[in-house]
A and B are shown apart, each in its own frame.
Chain A
Amino acid sequence: MTDISMDIARPEPKFRLDLTSDAARARIRSRYRAETRFKAYGIAALTVTALFLAVLMFDILRNGLPAFWQHSLLLDVPVAADIVDPAGKREAGAIKGADYFPLMRNALNAAIPGIESRSASKQLTRVLSVGAPDRLRDMLVADPSLIGKTIKVPLLLSDDADLYYKGAGTGIDDRAGRGTATPSGRTGEITVLTSSNDFAEELQNIKLRLKSVADTISRDAGRIERSGPDQAQRVASMRAEVANLANRYQQPGNAEALDSKVPSVLVAINGGLVKATRLDASGITGDVLLPLKSAEEAKPGTWKVVHYSTPESDRKVTDQEVAFLERLREAGAVDRHFNWRFFTTGDSREPELAGIRGALTGTALTLLVTLLLCLPIGVMAAVYLEEFAPKNRWTDVVEVNINNLAAVPSIVFGLLGLAVFLNFFGLPRSAPLVGGLVLALLVLPTIIIAARAALKAVPPSIKEAALGVGASHQQAVFHHVLPLAMPGIMTGTIIGMAHALGETAPLLMIGMVAFIVDVPTAFTDAATVLPVQIYLWSDLPEPAFQSKTAAAIVVLLAFLFLMNGAAIWLRKKFERRW
């Protein structure tokens, strides 16, 4: 229709888009390369992170998971009435207060009969935990009619024995004897002689070791000699030692003593076990660990030479204990079960008795105080600042300081708690109440900031709508804005609480680091919390506690994941798009 012609000659533009020349193609290619590179960096960064995380998780789980299992001995315990309840009144108090040690000892002696030496029988009772009778005691208190009967009951093993069954002991190998072995007795220190050179191999190993020791000393002596003439006497004594050792290893036939620094050599014969203390090619002298049934000759193949490959000095259990534990395992008395005790008891000096219930309860009480304090205060503060406060210099100052508080190191809050709550207000030390107060201070800025962000995210149109139908400002905020911001506020709160859950430093300052056996029952009881418990355990020397540390970390992480999961779930469930 419009027939106005627009034939204006268009001049060639000065700047033209060029997509076809080589330079242009190179430019495009380099652009794509840059993009690919950037993606690769991102993936690499993620991979490294994931790798670190995987290693961390693997290590923690590897260390921690075994602690969730425990070993007990299932033994027939004859409950002698005169020991448990000498008065015969069947009173719970008396039953509780009785000395169960003899019962335990009797049960063990019944399981491994024939132990005579004091040292051996002491070692036998050391296999059990001091808490071993707990279960039995509980059973008897619950049902006194069991007294006088023999009952099968699990007896808790000591931490070392437990660890032994979890694989922290020694490798054991054996080979059948080639000659006829003749023991000189059934118990005590005996000799076992064989008709062939059954122990030549062991002897040679010892000689080789002597040689290497001699070589080391000789090298050291040479070095000391070169360094100066003033230690001539020491050098001389070292030379004499070398000569002595050389004398020993150069004569292949003569007997050698065994010490705890070499793998143990034992002889299993006639149903008993002898630990060699001295051996030559054709026989040993040693202590009986498990009594022999008889002192008769043993035919080739019916007896065995046994090696404990880890030297005795390198493990927590003695050869005697290994012998007992192996015997008990063979007897089928060892029971592996989930370590409920870990979740039901408080701390203890004995690793096998220590649990995290005290720490968990302490954590729960502390976090409860924290939540009760900082949720209402935080939300109200956020609502006031976001919705009602006049925007002026003062609110700016408040806002900046809230953001600053969120960045203050947590230890500072601990110091504050120490100074204000303990020293000024005189609140009890180590109490969840104080811990909760301190953590509330710590978490409050986080919650205020999260709540303000959540309130800001509610579209102003909702508030306007409420105002538009004649709601007061407060009604608009509390009826409409706050409920819509609640999922965001809850998410922020949970993340803040998770932060508090993992916090250690401020709690150390207010004395929640004490060794506390009892499970706290009130806000003012002495208590500790999970991360502090982890910190405490990680410091202890017993290897079983290392495992407990990792297990407690697993529990802590599980809680953290649970809380963060809850936060994500809340966010997803109530997420609203406008």
Chain B
Amino acid sequence: MTKQKMSGAHAVIESLNCENAEVMFGYPGGQVLPLYDELYDADIRHILVRHEQAAAHAADGYARATGKVGVCLATSGPGATNLVTGIATAYMDSVPIIAITGQVPRSLIGNDAFQEANITGITLPITKHNYLVQDANDIPRIFKEAFYIARTGRPGPVLIDIPKDTQTELIEFEYPEEVKLRGYKPTYTGNEQQIKKAASLILKAEKPILYVGGGIIFSGATEELRELAEGIMAPVTTTLMGMGAFPSSHPLSVGMLGMHGTRYANYAIQESDLIIAVGVRFDDRVTGKVSAFAPNAKIIHIDIDPAEIGKNVRVDIPIVGDAKNVLKTMLKYVKQEQVKTDTWNNKISAWKREYPLSYKKDNLLRPQFVVEQISEVCPDAIIVTEVGQNQMWAAQFFTFKNPRTFISSGGLGTMGYGFPASMGAKVGRPESTVIDIAGDGSFQMNSQELATVVQNDIPVIVAILNNGFLGMVRQWQELFFNRRYSATSLDKSVDFVKLAEAYGALGLRATKKSEVKDIIVEAVKSERPAILDFVVESEENVSPMVPAGAAINEILDLE
């Protein structure tokens, strides 16, 4: 590329072009004025949100839905700090986003200037890496590195803080061909000897189980996973982040495990003699009481991040590498042999028959029914969720077929994530129906984005399971705090249909089972942003449930 003279702000736009960024979500302010001035003429699509938090979540939703790097932009100080929750959400779930922030001019840094915040300091523990531009000439290199770091290895958010005076400084622009990072060389290929050892354990196992998560989706390993599961005839359980990694309707699927997992997944884990863990991190919501987790199992742990291996549980065979690569190699070693898992699979089938996921089938409108109807009407939709009961019901009662069709804040558990993330998902995959399965509490944390979806014509559907409570907290209060519902009633006080109409979106309501399907169909057909207000039973619980601190087979059915 020939060198061109341009401003730092222009160099930012050029760098984004070089990375093929097609869209960014942002909000302007004083210290990003030169950047916004460049955006005025740029090809890259900019979507103006109504709160910076939504910009970060939208970039995250876009990244999870497409597999590309999401980009968000905010001004210094409050703009930057408003991104923080979104960055932390992306960090916990290993989502590649680039957060660009304006900063006060270099000469003012450290002076407590107007709208100054030390955002690189603030985001140190919640970014994979971050940069403060100290010389405009570094902008192309920093962007090259940032995108590379965000999307490779274990993906994650990278923040670039750009002082205003570096945005106006003139530089010679040349985008580097490659990155030179001495301290960053992720391992993609698993150690062949370790894989061989793992394969021989797998062939000896009588009660193996595959425990898989987000790593399968990020590395695009769903085909390899399916081939391995079918090859060794082992049941597959997925984490919340792994929903869609393996088809829910597959005979070998035992659904989600952990606190609100299926009984049969939890039983299978506890009784297994071998756990093949791929792209997971043995989170406490999965393991329950760690000392009682899978007492008889040997553990093979495959992960691209060596720090995850041995962090929470002891591991017998660690394999550091990309899930797709490792599973491909493993398939070479397990294929031809006989498997002896018939008895095991029969036992699991019996559990499945005995303890299916269920809820009361009566005339009342229950939230699980709504999710089942969404699954029936829109089987290929991308499902985004908020956090709490809505999230668990979505994971339990929607039948997932494909990767990147379940988008949820798993690690951080960010209420208010779903709606802006669904906006990002829809922008990235406009051909898909995108539905945010929401609670009335979570939705209200970012409902201002109704203005964004209407203004930019982003037809997402928000299905509010409206129970008038902060449902998951209420459930814990019911079970463990003697039904003392402290500060969890929302009173069904908001008219969500009118709210939708006020913003120019479609608003529909169902209060009876018979109305559910109709309004879903109407919303899909309208091709407009829509709010569906499902007025559901107020005190429905997510069941089954492992109480905090219990082993995962000590699982309770709740009325």
To the question of whether A and B form a pair in one complex, the answer is no
A interface, CB within 8 angstroms of B = none
B interface, CB within 8 angstroms of A = none
